[in-house]
Each structure stands twice: as C-alpha cells, then as structure tokens.
Amino acid sequence: MTLSLSRMTADDVDIAAAIALAAYGRPYSRHDIRRYLALQPDGWLMARIDDAPAGIGGITAYGHHAVVGLMATHPDFQRRGIATSVLGTLLAYADAWGVRAVALDATEEGAGLYRRHGFVQVDRTVVWGLTGSPVARRAQRSAQTVVAEGAGTTELAAIAALDAEVFGANRARLMARLLEEGPGRACVVRDRAGQASAYAVAQGSRVGPAAAGSAADGAALLDAVLKLHFNEPPRILVPERNHLAAAVLQARGFVRQRSTRYMVRGSATALGNRSHLLGLASFGLG
C-alpha cells in the first residue's frame, strides 16, 4: 500500500465531491469546492492509495487565522492513516504561513483525530434548516436594510469591515468573490445615522456569512435575506455561543438539525467574537 498526497486541482472537483458524498452520506457542493480552490489553490489536498483517490482535505488562511475543512476519507480506505497524513500536512502549511490559530468544525467521529493534533473544543456550530416557507415577519422599524450591489461597491467595504471585526481576520477576498458570484444577494443593516451594524450574504442554499450584534439586527437581516430566491430551503450555520440567534431563527421557521464541535489549535483569542457571528460562509471557510 502506497499513500501519496498531491495538490487538488480543478480536474479533481468531481472526485472530491464523490469522496465527500461517500464519507458524509450527503451531497457536497462542487461549487463550494471550486471556490475553495480559487481562494487558496495551494491549500487543498487529494490523497491516493496506490493511485486510487481515497481522501481529501484543505485549509484556507486569512492572515493569522486559518480554517481547515472538507476533511473526508472514502469508507473503502479508512483506518489507513489518510486523515492523519492530510491533517499533518495542512498544519505544516499553517505553521509555514505564520498562522497563529487554526479552527475547524469536527464531527463526533473525527474529534479524536483533532485532539491528538492539539485541537481543543471551544464551542459548537449548529446547523439550522428551513423546512418550509419562511414565516412572514413585520420588518424592524428601528433599522433600514439595503441590498449590496456587488463587488467593488461601498457595501463591499462595509461588509468586509464588519466581518473582520466579528470573524477576527480580514476576509475581503472572500466577500468580494461572494458578491461577484451573487450580485445583490447581500443585506446590510444600518442605524439611523447610516452606520452599518450587521450584514448577511445569501448563497444558493445557505445564509452566510453573516454577523449581527443584536437580536433586532439579526431579525432585520433575516427578514430581508429570506425574501430572496434560494435553490432549496436554506440552511444557516450558527455558533452555539450566539445565544440570541435561536429565538430569531425559530420565529422564522428554522429548526435545529445537527451540530458539530468547533475546535481550535493555537490562540483562541485571535478568532474574533463568535457571539456576534450569525452565520458561517461554510464549514470549509468559517
């Protein structure tokens, strides 16, 4: 048996999605994988056993903060050291890049591997799903929502600044790409003085990334973003530490579906304010 690792490329996207489907038991977006490769082409790996595709994993760095995602081993090749080899290589990348904190969301089955590599659980991430049509709510009178026009607008600058404050690192490249992919699919809450205080981006089947420091802002965001078209009933990935989110989501028809362990290796103080993080971009991007 020979285990080898190579950089994942655009030619590997279909193979990576098939491995993720086999490992997780649910489809994984090829569009998400292509986005990962575009944002961090030197951070995504394909593992092979005797030239047969067997596992995947990747890391995206935002300066001193990085996120590991899409860690999956095909069931036919489990217990052969694939995940250990992939993770060790990704962490070596992070060390070489000068990353101070590496975060990830772990399944119950994968948590042991990450603990052995120095990760500590600091929170959970809850997957909330909309099972039917959103519950109509009266718009918040204390805030005004405006739709961003896309990359390069003043809304991009406002979104990137808010996100950096809450997430703890500059993700302007990610925000620009999301707004370019979906022009007009971002909402910004402004106070009466015109100051931006919260934002949300609507992807095809997911709400996020999103940030809001109050229940009123979170409600205003969701009331605006849920008016947009989604390919399927949207999900939103919310830190459990955000204690205000549950009531806002439940009031709009969302139900708690499952959760993962949010784990960190390194300085957790470098990771922003998860209590104000309303939605992740994805498990692979934070």
Among 99, 119, 147, residue at a domain's last position: 99
90 and 150, same domain (yes or no): no
Let me know if residue 182 belongs to a domain: yes
For residue 120, being part of any structural domain is answered with no
Of 18-27, 125-134, 143-152, 195-204, least confident by mean pLDDT is 143-152
Position 140 confidence tier, pLDDT thresholds 50, 70, 90: very low
Are 132 and 95 in the same domain? no
Predicted TM-score (pTM) above 0.75: yes
Say how many domains are in the chain.
2
Query: Are residues 254 and 132 both part of a single domain?
Result: yes
Q: Tell whether 122 is covered by a domain.
A: no
Looking at the fold, whether 91 and 135 belong to one and the same domain comes out as: no
Task: Answer yes or no: is 269 within a domain.
Answer: no
Tokens matching residue 106: 């772990």
Q: Compute the distance between CA of residue 126 and CA of residue 197 in angstroms, rounded to an integer.
A: 23
Residues 145 and 190 occupy one common structural domain: yes
Contacts of 198 (CB under 8 A, 6+ apart): 162, 188, 189, 210, 211, 212, 213, 214, 217, 218, 220, 221, 278
Q: 239 and 171, same structural domain?
A: yes
Q: What is the pLDDT of residues 236-257, one digit of tens each?
A: 999 999 999 999 999 999 999 9
Does residue 22 form part of some domain? yes
- Terminal Cα-to-Cα distance of the chain (whole angstroms): 35
* Domain ranges, residue 193: 128-259+274-279
